[in-house]
Amino acid sequence: MSNQSLFERAQRVIPGGVNSPVRAFRAVGGTPRFITRGDGAYIYDAEGQRYIDYIGSWGPMILGHGHPAVLEAVISAAREGFSYGAPTEREIELAEEIIKLVPSIEQVRLVSSGTEATMSAIRLARGATGRSKFIKFEGCYHGHTDALLVKAGSGLATFGHPTSAGVPEEVAQHTLVLEYNNLQQLEEAFQLHGKELACVIIEPIAGNMNFVRAALPFVKRLRELCTEYGALLVFDEVMTGFRVGLHSAQGHYATLLPGFKPDVSVFGKVIGGGMPLAAFGASREIMKHLAPLGGVYQAGTLSGNPVATACGLATLREIQKPGFFEALATKTQFLVNGLKQVATENGVPFSVDSQGGMFGFFLMDELPQNYQTVMTTDKERFNKFFHGMLDAGVYLAPALYEAGFVSAAHSQADLEATLAAARTALR
């Protein structure tokens, strides 16, 4: 059994051979690795090759694979039952834990995926405000629901165009797409459409154009404009939630902007610990619009699944231990600083950024601030670097536009081995 034979077999029964497009390696070329197991900081493919894992299931595996406390919680929950379609105490416990760590939230609704959570958050914002239109930013990914698969229109007076077949123009007509970190566009958009906007949704640190953080003046003005015009500010923290810090990205911005908080928050990945689980939350005043209390309908058979909540709860309890995030951030900084140094030694343009256990790098001299700049990165050089690292047993995201993740399980030896591999690959 080889990766190639599995990929050929998969393509006969699964479109493109994968169940999520980026896994197909089309951006970088070559054959996807079919993973058989994970252990700590490592994953192993069908051919027995071990890789130092910097994807971590795209973020959830903040403790590494197979953490003993998480494993024990999942096995115990599975013995009790996989799903009931009825409330459980563990759902309450997980909601209480999230609310305790995120001051902007008073109530939370559990769902099964980040896409489901962002879709529901926008529906909630529309129901709470009685408005239809909303703003998103180019390069921010909020799942594959129709209204969010939209690219920028031809100008601020026009709304977005679908980026996926199967999305009708009339669905996209309520979505206004702006450039990330562009204050002038933001001001003009609110002047033109402010009283019609239900919400603005943003990734505070965008992880799907690699790693681009929202500038402080931009976040500050965004909060002011939403308040002024009565639009809700939705923070999509599916990726950043409990990954960039114990209080998520909004906690980071609150330390820089005292009193800052979004109106609605969306979480996923880490809160499920690797199982299908996500959530959206807000104040009681906003959440009262949600069924069964209000007229905004949302439901799900597997929402609050007892095995997933056990996994997520055990993960959240582990990351609250003293010194956890300090140690994680130290590891991540060691990695990105080392990559920058290795690139400099080899005369390769390179810029890096990180927060907590999330990082990104660009093959350019300065960190980009928006999607259009990210698109100018040297794609061919990145692809060569990716395959050089993969051949050396280091598993990075198989696409130029994805962030990376360090886990608590990564050792100093793992980080140094990664830098040694980069030294060779960048030559």
DSSP string, 143-181: -S-GGGSEE--SSTTS--EESSTT--HHHHTTEEEEETT
Question: Phi and psi of 267, rounded to 5°?
Answer: -130, 155
Catalytic residue among 53, 236, 263, 414: 236
Question: Phi and psi of 307, rounded to 5°?
Answer: -80, -40
Catalytic annotation present for 269 = yes
Distance CA 95, CA 216 (A): 29
CA distances from 152 to 68, 159, 371, 420 (A): 46, 7, 11, 41
Distance CA 395, CA 196 (A): 45
CA distances from 347 to 77, 250, 343, 377, 420 (A): 52, 36, 6, 16, 16
Query: Can you read off the two tokens belonging to residue 251?
Result: 């906690």
Distance CA 229, CA 158 (A): 19
Catalytic annotation present for 141 = yes
End-to-end CA distance of the chain: 33
Catalytic residue among 133, 136, 261, 269: 269
Query: Can you read off the two tokens belonging to residue 169?
Result: 């123009």
Catalytic annotation present for 253 = no
How many Cα atoms occupy the beta-carbon half-sphere of 357 within 13 Å?
31
Dmax over CA atoms of the chain, in Å, equals 61
- Point out the residues that are catalytic: 141, 236, 269
